[in-house]
Amino acid sequence: MIVKCVAPDDPIPGSFWQPPEAGLNGRGLYVRDDTPVHSALHEACHYICMDHSRRENLDTDAGGDYAEENGVCYLQVLLADHIPGMGKNRMFSDMDAWGYSFRLGSSRAWFERDAEDARAWLQRYQLIDNDNAPTWQLR
């Protein structure tokens, strides 16, 4: 995956939700200066979590099923700690403000008390290890 910056006010290629949200197209993750970090991480995690076949034909809609979407959300929280100035707390706040919905009412509650299936899915595909650390691999 290659991060590609788009000029201010230009459309963002592959943006499913439309600008300023990040976009995926081919091997490119497209962002602008006003793209929220949580959006860029979410789309990057879709790229990481999708299988090779979908990655090869990627254009805007990452697809995937419910289990994969949960894995994407869980992984984006883990990766937030690897971005200076982001971290889990800001990720939780940004996810809640954007409107991610979880059964327990917040992204933090979901992550801490209701995400065993997401964690297991990521481990199944060796995207995180048994200590919950990213493996920095693609599915």
Distance CA 57, CA 35 (A): 24
Contact call for residues 5 and 31 (beta carbons, < 8 A)? yes
What's the mean per-residue pLDDT of the chain?
A: 96
- 45-76, pLDDT tens digit by residue? 999 999 999 999 999 999 999 999 999 999 99
**Tell me, what's the pLDDT at 43?**
97
Say if residue 12's pLDDT is above 90.
yes
Whole-prediction pTM: 0.95
Confidence of residue 101 (pLDDT cuts 50, 70, 90): confident
- Beta strands (DSSP E) in the chain are 2-5, 23-25, 28-31
> CA-CA-CA-CA torsion for 82, 86, 92, 96, nearest 10 degrees?
-130
Specify the pLDDT at position 122.
98
| Polymer length of the chain | 139
Q: What is the pLDDT of residues 16-53, one digit of tens each?
A: 999 999 999 999 999 999 999 999 999 999 999 999 99
Classified as helix, coil or strand, 88 is helix
Q: Cα separations (Å) of 92 from 46, 47, 85, 119, 124?
A: 18, 21, 13, 17, 24
Q: Where are the domains of the chain?
A: 2-56, 66-124
